[in-house]
Amino acid sequence: MDSKLLSGTLDMMILDVVARGPTYGYQMAQTVLLKSDGALELKEGSLYPALHRLERQGMLASHWVDTEDGRRRKYYKITAAGVKALAVKRAEWLRFTRGVDGALGGANEWIVESG
């Protein structure tokens, strides 16, 4: 997959996943991989910097959790600002994909006769 496609949607997807309930980095990647049917693989080198960035921007909040088996996880939850930003990003994404589909003509081109 062209990795450049991910650019600009990563933050939105992270926010969206976290918006459904607190989770941690590794699990987010697994969730997205599963739900995208294997199409989207969030690499660590992209995911963790993005999480730090979103937290720095006040979109996410985190806290460490020590598990029983000696591991530690950094759980994230979305903030009010994050919810707001997510809505904006989803709207942008919708507008963008519609724009691309419109520019490409796409399979719907023959529906144009509306008058």
40 versus 61: smaller Cβ distance to a second copy: 40
Residue 76's region, left for phi above 0, alpha for psi from -120 to 50, else beta, is: beta
Q: Which two tokens stand for residue 31?
A: 């969730």
69 versus 107: smaller Cβ distance to a second copy: 107
- Give yes or no for residue 105 binding a second copy (CB under 8 A): yes
- Give yes or no for residue 8 binding a second copy (CB under 8 A): yes
Q: Which residues pair with 77 in a beta bridge?
A: 61
- Give yes or no for residue 63 binding DNA (CB under 7 A): no
11 versus 79: smaller Cβ distance to DNA: 11
Q: Return d(Cα 28, Cα 36) in angstroms, integer.
A: 12
Mind giving me the DSSP string for 8-50? TTHHHHHHHHHHTS-EEHHHHHHHHHHHTTTS----HHHHHHH
What count of other Cβ atoms lies within 10 Å of the Cβ of residue 82? 23
27 binds, among DNA, a second copy, none (CB under 5 to 8 A by kind): DNA
Site residue total, a second copy (CB under 8 A): 36
Q: How far is the CB of 111 from DNA (least distance, A)?
A: 28
Question: Which residue ranges make up the site for a second copy (CB under 8 A)?
Answer: 1-9, 12-13, 16-17, 20, 31-32, 35-37, 39-40, 89-90, 92-93, 95-100, 102-105, 110
